[in-house]
Amino acid sequence: MKDEGQAGDPSPSRLKRWFGSHPFRTILRIAAAIAGAGLIAGGLGVIWPKPDPMADAAPSADDPASLGPLPKRPVMVLVVGIDADGINDPSNRAAPKGPANADSLMLVQISAGNPVQVLQLPTELAVNLPGRERLQSLADAYRAGGVALTADVVAEVVGLQEGEPDRFVVFPRQALRSLVDALGEVEVTLNQSYKHTDSSQNYSVNLQAGRQTLNGSQAEQLARYRPDPKNDQARRIRQQSLLKGIHDQLNQPNAIALLPTVIGEVSTQMETDLTPMEIMSLIAAALSSDAPPVITQLDLAPRTGQQVMRELKPNQPMPLWPTPPGGAGGN
């Protein structure tokens, strides 16, 4: 029998069994889960009013507010789109192969009666990560420490208040396909055709210019398409059309009645600390304004030479986001 150390002094082999091959990431996720449970228990009464037990169970087809009680204050959600197909996949579907990275990062602020605000974060942004001597890309934060570390780094970069973001959603590619298909496809307008094949990632895109109706697989093609590794900016602009298309589809007359089923299906494919009631409430708040989402990006310094990672434009006042309701916003 192998020596596993004295009681109270775990050996490396025992630690590996407890925490896996990436103990730092596991510990962070456990801490995030414990903290999240406390936030949910203590925060429900602060952000959301108590549900009305006499309210109708089924949402009204023409009343977004029937989806759930509106949040009492703005709610900020960190959305992490990862390059793995499923939330528990051991490897991504990118090149090079390995644990999942953050392929897309957004902060979404939802406030009843106001347009949804979205901040697209540059995954190529150079940041300091714990235990790393050299600068790493923001995308690497998820691989290094999961959603807990990603949220901490994003909060520091943007200058968020303590406790922000309020919630998180980790969205694999499977969940994106399921969301679009469950909503009945989305309409986008493309200013050019896209055709590309990448055998290393078993991935291809074939989309025509003009107004298009995309199914889940085509939406994934548009979200992933990046022929130039140094031009993440162009991909973020393409993703904006998809975000607006999904928002428009949610505003369709039949969408509200479908949402409980849609959320029930997609929620099993993603990771989040939002409860089903909170998801429905945030969608209700997002649809309470007729205005389209306000999508912004961080100002980056000009690229130097062949560098892949980018830096923020210097001397910007903090916080970098969000734009106050009624303030200026753009792309």
Domain map (residue ranges) of the chain: 10-46, 62-297
Give the burial class of 77: count Cβ atoms within 10 A of its Cβ; 0-12 exposed, 13-18 middle, 19 or more buried: buried
pLDDT digits (tens, 9 = 90+) for 235-267: 999 999 999 999 999 988 788 888 889 999 999
Query: What pLDDT score was predicted for residue 16?
Result: 39
* Sign for the pseudo-dihedral over CA of 248, 254, 260, 264: negative
**Higher pLDDT among residues 90 and 181, named by residue:** 181
**Higher pLDDT among residues 204 and 10, named by residue:** 204
Under the banding of pLDDT at 50, 70 and 90, the label for residue 274 is very high
Q: Starting at the earlier edge strand, list the strands of the sheet with 75-82.
A: 271-272, 167-171, 75-82, 102-110, 117-121, 294-297
Per-range mean pLDDT, top range of 47-56, 92-101, 138-147: 138-147
**Higher pLDDT among residues 44 and 114, named by residue:** 114
Model pTM above 0.75:
yes
Under the banding of pLDDT at 50, 70 and 90, the label for residue 74 is very high
Query: What pLDDT score was predicted for residue 284?
Result: 92
pLDDT at residue 310 is higher than 70: yes
Q: What are phi and psi of 296, to 5 degrees?
A: -125, 165
Beta bridge partners of 119: 107, 296
Please give the helix or strand (H or E) that residue 211 lies within, else none. Answer: strand 210-214
Query: What pLDDT score was predicted for residue 323?
Result: 56
Q: What is the assigned CATH class of domain 62-297?
A: alpha beta
pLDDT at residue 39 is higher than 50: no
> What is the percentage of the chain residues whose pLDDT exceeds 70?
78
pLDDT at residue 326 is higher than 90: no
Tell me how far apart the alpha carbons of residues 242 and 210 are, in angstroms, rounded to a whole number. Answer: 14
pLDDT digits (tens, 9 = 90+) for 277-304: 899 999 999 999 989 999 999 999 998 8
Query: What pLDDT score was predicted for residue 176?
Result: 96
Nearest to 32 by CA among 124, 142, 129, 122: 142
pLDDT digits (tens, 9 = 90+) for 2-21: 444 444 444 444 333 334 44
Query: What pLDDT score was predicted for residue 57?
Result: 55
Map tokens 């949610």 to a residue.
Answer: 250
